[in-house]
Amino acid sequence: MNNALNISPVPHVRDRWTTKFIMYTVILSLLPATVVGIAMNGLHAFYVVLCSVATAVLTEFIFDYFAEKPDTWLDGSAVVTGLMLALTLPPSIPLFIPILGSVFAILVVKCAFGGLGKNFVNPALAARCFLLISFGTLMTTYAVDGVSSATPVAMLMQGKTVNVTKMFLGVPNDVIGSSTLCMLIGGLVLWAMDIIHGEICFSVLVSFTIFMGLFGGKGFDPRFLLSHICGGGVVMGAFFMASDYATSPVSKLGQMVYGIIIGVLGGLFRVKSGASDSFSYSIIIANLFVPLIDMFIYPKPFAYTKKGIASRSGEVQEKKSAKDFFPKPVIVLTVISLIAGAALSGVFAMTKDTIEAQKFAANAASFQAVLPDAVTFEGNDAADKAIADLDGAVYGTEFGRATINQVVTGKDESGAVVGHAISVTSGDGFDGNVTLSVGIDSSGKVNGISFTELNETPGMGMRVDEPAFRDQFNDKDVTKFTLNKAGGSTADNEIDSVSGASTTSGAVVNAVNAALDFYHSVVKGAM
């Protein structure tokens, strides 16, 4: 017996495209960006794509088997999810990240809510946001030939110039799917085939461009706007993520409103947020507005006028109250959130001065630890000016994401300078920022280091604050340290890595090297 028989009221609307055809067409449209990403970033990028896609398909297969559901993994949707997730990941990411992300996307976001077409947010994007929250440092660390580098959008946010042509073609220091050209070609093919809705794609791009032109700080400068459009997953988000059928509105007007929400939020996050890759969050937030958009903006039924909709068959629809649109649980949760937000704001306001005082005391103790002969500490005018000119930007190009925070000059009881303490932060720690003070005596020799911020894994990354690692910097007269992951160093400029915590060890070495370079380039020259 044929189970394909469907009974439903007229009119019957059929589409020439099947779900399987659509999914495999999307896969083909993503292949150019995938090939370019692998060619530009090397073999590890291929392994990331392979692990992500294979895990997504295997997860759905296992779920279908144990839940005794049809083999939905054959329709290609799991491949699309795994591929899109992989293209949003850094090419040097550890392989457990795409594996974990694909399991979360398929099992939690898709299958747990009923499967294809029933997920309320885009599975690939939800997985990416989950990974960004859980593994923030790994998800925002981009390396070329083993050297950490900022993404083009991060450089834009720091006021630096970028090569728009390289971004358009696919610069090899961003995510795997960074080729705007390939994404644009694939997206336009899907739009031309009427597989995705142009109302969504173009309203996202237009609203984002207008917002950046108005509030980006450089007006409607074409180079500036193109740089932002070509970076941060804007084109991929507009054509491949936002256009997901299950998480986008039904009506054309609703699709335009939805696209505008994404574009405006994406621009707002780009201008005001400290994160360079926050476009994913704008689409996820807009996904949550879709039921509300469809509630108030809906397509006109066939053969009905507006009056007919309101009074079909002589029956006037009842006017809905606010509680019909906003159920009681929603109202309760909103009130609880407002109260909690007000309470947290009040607590922060009351403890702000105390927190600042504690930070000041921690810095003072850190300076004293690295310059024990100092009795007083004074500011350094030349260093203060150089730090102000940096305006929070990453210092140099050889020290990862290291920033110089403060420089003080230590003096003894007679007023003689005994050295300088430099506070520096590295954003390359495994679990967050690593902030430390580096003591450099008047001859340029490193006295030692002292941590003021260290939130690493206990028993691993936290071991950089143990004497076995920390004391390796003491009394060393060098201009630059190198990290030795193999151990057994004998040279003064070599630092043995903490076993199992090479990322954190490298962040510390980068921070110390940034402080040394700043001392020789700025502080020493002003003495």
Mean pLDDT, consecutive 10-residue stretches, the chain (527 aa), reads: 53 66 92 91 91 94 87 87 92 90 93 84 90 79 49 60 73 78 91 90 92 85 84 86 88 91 89 70 88 78 56 49 53 62 61 62 81 88 86 83 89 89 86 86 89 79 89 91 86 88 89 92 76
Looking at residue 260, its pLDDT comes to 93
DSSP 74: G
DSSP 522: I
Contact 30, 87 (CB under 8 A): yes
Looking at residue 141, its pLDDT comes to 63
Quickly tell me which residue has 């490193």 as its tokens: 446
Instruction: Enter the tokens of residue 216.
Output: 């980006």
Show the beta-strand stretches assigned E in 356-433: 376-379, 402-411, 417-426
Topology of 19-300 in CATH? Ammonium transporter fold (1.10.3430)
* Dihedral angle over CA of 382, 385, 387, 391, nearest 10: -170
User: Range(s) for CATH 1.10.3430 in the chain?
Assistant: 19-300
Contact 290, 153 (CB under 8 A): no
Instruction: Enter the tokens of residue 325.
Output: 């649109």
Looking at residue 105, its pLDDT comes to 93
Looking at residue 334, its pLDDT comes to 59
Q: Distance between CA atoms of 116 and 110, rounded to whole angstroms?
A: 7
Please write down the long-range contacts of 431-437, taking CB distance under 8 Å and 24 or more positions apart. Answer: 431/137, 431/455, 431/456, 431/457, 431/461, 432/136, 432/137, 432/456, 434/464, 434/504, 434/507, 434/508, 434/511, 435/405, 436/366, 436/508, 436/511, 436/512, 437/363, 437/366, 437/367, 437/369, 437/370
Q: How far is CA 255 from CA 14, 258, 261, 262, 316, in A?
A: 21, 5, 10, 11, 29
Looking at residue 257, its pLDDT comes to 92
Looking at residue 32, its pLDDT comes to 92
SS3 call for 316: strand
Looking at residue 75, its pLDDT comes to 86
Looking at residue 389, its pLDDT comes to 85
Could you tell me which of 87, 79, 78 has the C-alpha nearest to residue 35? 87
The phi, psi pair for 417, rounded to 5°, reads -75, 125
Contact 203, 255 (CB under 8 A): yes
Looking at residue 500, its pLDDT comes to 80
